[in-house]
Structure 1
Amino acid sequence: MRCDARGFSLLELLLAMALGLVLMLGVSQVTISSRATHLSQQAAMALQDDARFALGKMIRDIRQAGMFGCQATAFIDNAPVVFDQPVSWSDGGSSKALTLVTADADGGGRPDWTVLSDCLRVAQAYAGHSPVPAPGQLRFAIRQLTYTFESGQLKLSTPATPAKTVLLDNVQAFDISFGVAATSTSAAVVRYDTSPADGALIRTVRIKMTLQDPDRRVRDQTYSVVAALRNRLG
């Protein structure tokens, strides 16, 4: 009995190998592209989380700036000079700083000042903690916070802890401008200025910050927010 056996020719084998290689390269490219997309999305989310943390804290402190209890600064006995200018700034080119005298929203640690008031006639400022409130009196903790941008970092310091604590790394750019009113009695913002002549006219603070992914997996991300001083807007 005779049986003819026929295998693949060399040409067929080469074609099959070439087709398989093309398919493998295609699958590999899709996998690599998918992984790169995932890493870039993760990097973008990390930058967003960092921006949300830093800007969220700054917004909260800006909103509370100049709020020293239930009475105006003019009626607070022994009020420090910084109470008259709760928002100040400096721009040294390579270093920028925003200083806020603000109500201590966290309520933790030692305040820089404490205002003790009955919200009617008496209000007294004390350095650090105040005496124990009498019946009908309230205590308001006040802190002075300085946010500094330098050497690609956003830092935070206070008079009690002058050593700057790093809040955020990989900060490519940090810009501050101020929304100012036309008059001291107006609440409407008429323009934004990087260095207003009269701090009493400041109604809002605009922050623009650009973050950079250290691994360059995503483009630089720019975030911009505006926070209003609550005690100056009706």
Structure 2
Amino acid sequence: MNASVKGFGLVEVLLALVLGLVMSLALVQIFISSKSSYVSQTSSAGLQEDARFVLSKMVQEVRLVGMFGCLGKVDDATAGNSFSKAFEEPIHWDANSQTLTLATAGTGEGGGWSTWVIHTDCLSSATAYTNGRAPRLAVDETAMPVHRQVYRFNKARNELSLNGQPLASNVRTFSVLFGVAGSTRERSIARYAAAAAPSLIRSVRLTLTLFDPADRAQEQTIDVVAAIRNRLG
């Protein structure tokens, strides 16, 4: 070969191509791995955010369960309809139908909607009327709106609804446990149970598990405990 001719031989070119291909494959693999990790983290964060949003709303309402005004007893002017026991049992969990029912004070939803309006003078009388059917307030009375909130978990559809409207999708499980005192005089919690007399309930534990239908992230389970601020029963 003429020593004055400069360049690369066939072996050198092939070796360079192989090295370039290996490096390209490594870079592509790093990119794919980084993207997969980003998608997984984003999906996981989204599931946590959805679960915390739903549970934070429920916690606010649970804390205000049984807040019916100044007096402990409310006369129900709506007796005879399906809501008549709400003031006797303002919180109820039906494990069979996966339904949590609350009678709670308003939490700032806006507007004038409420299930009942309680008229009370904070001295001797407190009467609940179906919203829209309440008489005019007396001079010494104040009005307090009370909501009936029904959360239902539909396992077949993996959906949690509020008053019949979808609230959260891709729900794997939803459960409720009551923190129960040993007696009506005690404030400390002796045990957790799925059912209890209202007068013994001191807190509510809510557990919600969400999943990603595209299987990009692991299931996210959020567990919160809300203290009952008002003595029930």
Q: When the two structures are superposed, what TM-score results if normalisation uses the length of structure 1?
A: 0.88
AA of the residue aligned to 2:128: A
- Decide whether the 8 Å contact of 1:85 with 1:200 is kept in 2: no
SS at match of 1:177: strand
- The match for 2:146 among 142, 145, 155 is 142
More deviation, 96-105/117-126: 117-126
Q: Mapping of 1:57-206 within 5 angstroms? A: 57-73=57-73, 76-78=74-76, 80-92=84-96, 95-105=97-107, 106-129=109-132, 130-150=134-154, 151=156, 152-157=158-163, 164-196=164-196, 198-206=197-205
1:170 positional shift: 0.3
> What does residue 51 of structure 2 align with?
51
Distance in 2 separating the partners of 1:117 and 1:47: 43
1:136 positional shift: 4.1
**C-alpha offsets along residues 69-99 of structure 1, whole Å, 9 cap, x if unaligned?**
12112xx33364320100111122xx41111
Distance in 2 separating the partners of 1:3 and 1:183: 104
Backbone CA RMSD of aligned residues? 1.9
- Decide whether the 8 Å contact of 2:62 with 2:228 is kept in 1: yes
SS at match of 2:215: coil
SS at match of 1:69: coil
Distance in 1 separating the partners of 2:75 and 2:172: 43
Unmatched runs of 5 consecutive residues or more in structure 2: 78-83
**C-alpha offsets along residues 159-215 of structure 1, whole Å, 9 cap, x if unaligned?**
xxxxx111000001111111000111221111101223x232111111111100111
Distance in 2 separating the partners of 1:216 and 1:10: 48
Distance in 2 separating the partners of 1:71 and 1:107: 25
- Decide whether the 8 Å contact of 1:114 with 1:140 is kept in 2: yes
Aligned residues: 221
Richer in helix (by share): 1
Higher relative contact order (CA 8 A, sep 6+): 2
Percent identity (aligned): 41
- Decide whether the 8 Å contact of 2:95 with 2:194 is kept in 1: no
> What does residue 81 of structure 2 align with?
none
1:135 positional shift: 3.8
Unmatched runs of 5 consecutive residues or more in structure 1: 158-163
More deviation, 99-108/28-37: 99-108
SS at match of 1:114: strand
> What does residue 80 of structure 2 align with?
none
> What does residue 11 of structure 1 align with?
11
> What does residue 227 of structure 2 align with?
228
SS at match of 1:19: helix
1:109 positional shift: 4.3
Q: When the two structures are superposed, what TM-score results if normalisation uses the length of structure 2?
A: 0.88
AA of the residue aligned to 2:143: R
